[in-house]
Amino acid sequence: GAVVSQHPSRVICKSGTSVKIECRSLDFQATTMFWYRQFPKKSLMLMATSNEGSKATYEQGVEKDKFLINHASLTLSTLTVTSAHPEDSSFYICSARDSLAGGPATDTQYFGPGTRLTVL
Amino acid sequence: AQSVTQPDIHITVSEGASLELRCNYSYGATPYLFWYVQSPGQGLQLLLKYFSGDTLVQGIKGFEAEFKRSQSSFNLRKPSVHWSDAAEYFCAVGGGYSTLTFGKGTMLLVSP
């Protein structure tokens, strides 16, 4: 149980184009999902908290107009990198909490396999 | 503010030897603590978690961790390392529906 998928696993795009990354919880409901960015040899940096049916909460320094997040259902959140540039190249990872786990178990985050974005 | 320190950037262990990865945290309340493992180019897999109760927590793949409140530590251990354990290990702290804060990770290398 508690499987999270991401699609695509890797994407290469031209500078100036937009890229959409999907994050799905396959066997549980997730009212809250998270989007992280990971640089080489670095830890995970939380970009935003995605809340089903409401606006995402962005961390300080993350441009909300550049990284659009939509969480339209209990099992799907999308991250769209708009007008991508080479400096946006990175490994993007999503995670999800099981909304129905109950108690502190709800705090457990299950991670997707990540998406490698390369902007040329 | 919550924080996690993993003092070892990388560790090399011989296959079959024991392993201990260190993790120290700072958190204002009772922490929820996690260890995740990441293989190259992959997402994070949850190894184990501590919420409350028994301070020695058993996880998957033969890993365990011990919560020591007096030392603000949550070290990960394994009695006998396998070559397939080579990966990056992240300690994280959170709680009460708050976001997780991750350490910078420890890269485990396993020598033959």
pLDDT along chain A (120 residues), means of 10: 91 97 92 90 88 90 94 93 96 88 72 95
DSSP state of B99: P
Which three-class secondary structure state does DSSP give residue B81? Answer: coil
Q: What is the pLDDT of residues B8-41, one digit of tens each?
A: 999 999 999 999 999 999 987 778 999 999 998 8
With CA atoms as reference, report the closest residue to B43 among A87, A23, A79, A85: A23
Q: Which residues of chain B neighbour A93 with C-beta distances below 8 Å?
A: 43-44
The Cα B54–Cα B67 span in angstroms is: 9
Q: Which residue has the tokens 């670095």?
A: A42
Interface residues of B toward A, Cβ cutoff 8 Å, are 32, 34, 36, 41-46, 49, 51-52, 90, 94-100, 102-105
The Cα B93–Cα B105 span in angstroms is: 13
> What would the mean pLDDT of B37-59 be, rounded to a whole number?
91
Distance in Å, alpha carbon of B10 to nearest chain A alpha carbon: 11
A51 in contact with B at a CB cutoff of 8 Å?
no
Phi, psi angles (nearest 5°) of residue A70: -130, 130
Sheet holding A4-7, edge to edge: A4-7, A19-25, A76-81, A67-73
